[in-house]
């Protein structure tokens, strides 16, 4: 459920007409709903009620300061994967003891920043990285809390580019080698080995792969405890999918996921941490774009929008589906037209949808891409020298620009000219 609905034929973001935002900020733009963000965070928090737990929002999904602050004020921790994300989380007021540092290639500088500023734990992905964290911790005279990310070799049954839990993926250490790697970690004086981490992929639409992975983690917890490790925290990653197509069956809900977690791991008496990104941000945001032209091709009609692959890359990169709806609702019973919906960028890959059936649209009319809150704005670029599009946050009947559109001068003047030119 989200808060982008039609009222009297006009699309609203909470209590604000989307067309009103478009008039104020111009198109294209992203708009997020505070109520939806909070609702999704709370669904996870409530699903894990009864367990000692922390929901660490995977801020890679949408990392605007205003979004982070909204979630942090509701009690969320953060999962970060770079120094930039770490500093963003801190700037949004998240304390170090609620920040988890994930990612396969943390540099010594990133480790130092986190150890100096405070960190809940590092999720370690390899032995060399473990050695690097140990070295920086010893140098600073501190002890770094760590979990080790294990790769359980399960098939997440999702798009190949976002599956991470098979042995051929670059993530984690093979679960078969876990005992040796934990023994090595325990021998390092700069490390405090507190738990196990696992994350098998993103946009999972079934619970079974999670269950398989978590059962393996449960077994490993018992084995490692028997080996003398004080395993007291399990980080279960993110990955629960969202319904992108209103016509498809919906993925399991956070409450079902929570029940499965309790069933698989509840007996272990450990603290549970999860890192959802997409489920919190995905349906909390839409991208709004304007029709520039309707173009008649040889055998099809193209809807040419002012938004493009540089603004929302998911369809080009993962063949992802986003529902695209008119901002002014079509009259009921209107004959539908099949459109290829494209942007103005000079590549055929700049196609959002092929043969999409919609009520007829004209130039200057607005459309909204649903489920664009996660991995939308954060993956955008200025390809074709198209300035980054603004982000807007709605809260009830108020809205605010939370990242403004740069002017053309600002974009151009970010470059510097060497003195010989």
Q: Which residues bind ligand LLP (CB under 6 A)?
A: 58, 61, 79, 102, 162, 199, 202-203, 237-239, 275-279, 314, 318, 374-375
Is 56 an annotated catalytic residue? no
Q: Based on the number of CB atoms within 10 Å of its own CB, is 148 exposed (0-12), middle (13-18) or buried (19 or more)?
A: buried
Shorter beta-carbon distance to ligand LLP: residue 275 or 350: 275
Cα–Cα distance, 112 to 124 (Å, whole number)? 15
Nearer to ligand LLP, 196 or 304 (CB): 196
Q: From the CB of residue 338, how many other CB atoms can be counted at a distance below 10 Å?
A: 12
- Could you tell me the smallest distance in angstroms from the CB atom of residue 236 to ligand LLP? 9
Q: Give least dist CB 317 to ligand LLP, A.
A: 7
Two tokens, residue 405: 């559109």
Residue 5 C-alpha from the chain's centroid: 23
Sequence-separated (6 or more) residues with CB below 8 Å from residue 286: 4, 13, 18, 30, 31, 368, 369, 370, 371, 372, 373
Query: Smaller CB distance to ligand LLP: residue 212 or 279?
Result: 279
- Of the pair 272, 327, the CB lying nearest ligand LLP is at 272
Shortest distance (Å) from residue 321 CB to ligand LLP: 11
Closest CB to ligand LLP among residues 113, 203? 203
Pairing label, strands 366-369, 16-17: unpaired
Residue with tokens 């490390």: 191
Residue 315 token pair: 């369809």
Decide if 23 contacts 382 (C-beta within 8 A): no
Nearest distance in Å: CB 199, ligand LLP: 4
Which of 74, 75, 133, 73 shows the shortest CA–CA distance to 103? 133
The residue to which tokens 């294209």 are assigned? 28
Residue 161 sits at φ, ψ, to 5 deg, of: -75, -15
- Shortest Å distance, C-beta 252 to ligand LLP: 13
Q: Which of 226, 346, 417, 421 is catalytic?
A: 346
Query: Closest separation between CB of residue 123 and ligand LLP, Å?
Result: 7
CB nearer to ligand LLP: give 199 or 229.
199
Judge contact between 152 and 197, C-beta under 8 A: no
CA dihedral over 222, 233, 87, 406, signed as positive or negative: positive
Active site residues: 346
């Amino acid at each position: 459920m989200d808060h982008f609905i039609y009222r009297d034929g006009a699309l609203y973001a909470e209590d604000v007409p989307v067309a009103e935002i478009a008039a104020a900020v111009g198109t294209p733009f992203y708009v997020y709903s505070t109520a939806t963000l909070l609702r999704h965070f709370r669904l996870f928090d409530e699903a894990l009620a009864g367990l000692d737990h922390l929901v660490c929002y995977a801020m890679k999904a949408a990392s605007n300061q205003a979004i982070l602050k909204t979630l942090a004020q509701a009690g969320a921790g953060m999962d970060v994967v770079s120094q930039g994300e770490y500093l963003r989380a801190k700037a949004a007021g998240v304390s170090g003891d609620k920040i988890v540092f994930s990612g396969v290639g943390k540099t010594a500088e990133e480790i130092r920043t986190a150890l100096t500023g405070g960190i809940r734990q590092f999720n370690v992905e390899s032995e060399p990285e473990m050695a690097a964290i140990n070295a920086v911790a010893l140098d600073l005279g501190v002890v770094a809390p760590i979990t080790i990310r294990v790769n359980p070799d399960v098939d997440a049954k999702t798009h190949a580019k976002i599956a991470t839990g098979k042995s051929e993926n670059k993530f984690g250490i093979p679960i078969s080698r876990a005992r040796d790697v934990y023994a090595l970690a325990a021998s390092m004086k700069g490390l405090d080995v507190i738990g196990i981490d696992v994350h098998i992929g993103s946009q999972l639409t079934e619970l079974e792969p999670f269950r398989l992975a978590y059962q393996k983690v449960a077994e490993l917890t018992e084995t490692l405890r028997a080996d003398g490790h004080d395993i007291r925290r399990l980080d279960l990653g993110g990955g629960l999918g969202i319904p992108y197509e209103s016509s498809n069956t919906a993925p399991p809900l956070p409450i079902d996921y929570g029940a499965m977690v309790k069933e698989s791991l509840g007996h272990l008496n450990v603290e549970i941490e999860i890192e959802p990104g997409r489920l919190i941000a995905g349906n909390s945001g839409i991208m709004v774009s304007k029709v520039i032209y309707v173009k008649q091709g040889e055998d099809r009609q193209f809807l040419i929008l002012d938004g493009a692959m540089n603004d929302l890359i998911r369809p080009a990169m993962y063949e992802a589906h986003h529902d695209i709806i008119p901002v002014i609702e079509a009259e009921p019973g209107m004959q539908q037209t099949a459109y290829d919906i494209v942007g103005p960028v000079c590549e055929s890959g700049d196609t959002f949808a092929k043969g999409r059936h919609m009520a007829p649209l004209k130039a200057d009319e607005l459309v909204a891409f649903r489920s664009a809150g996660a991995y939308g704005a954060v993956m955008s670029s200025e390809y074709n020298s198209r300035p980054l599009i603004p982000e807007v946050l709605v809260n009830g009947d108020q809205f605010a620009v939370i990242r403004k559109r740069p002017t053309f001068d600002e974009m151009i003047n970010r470059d510097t000219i060497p003195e010989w030119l």
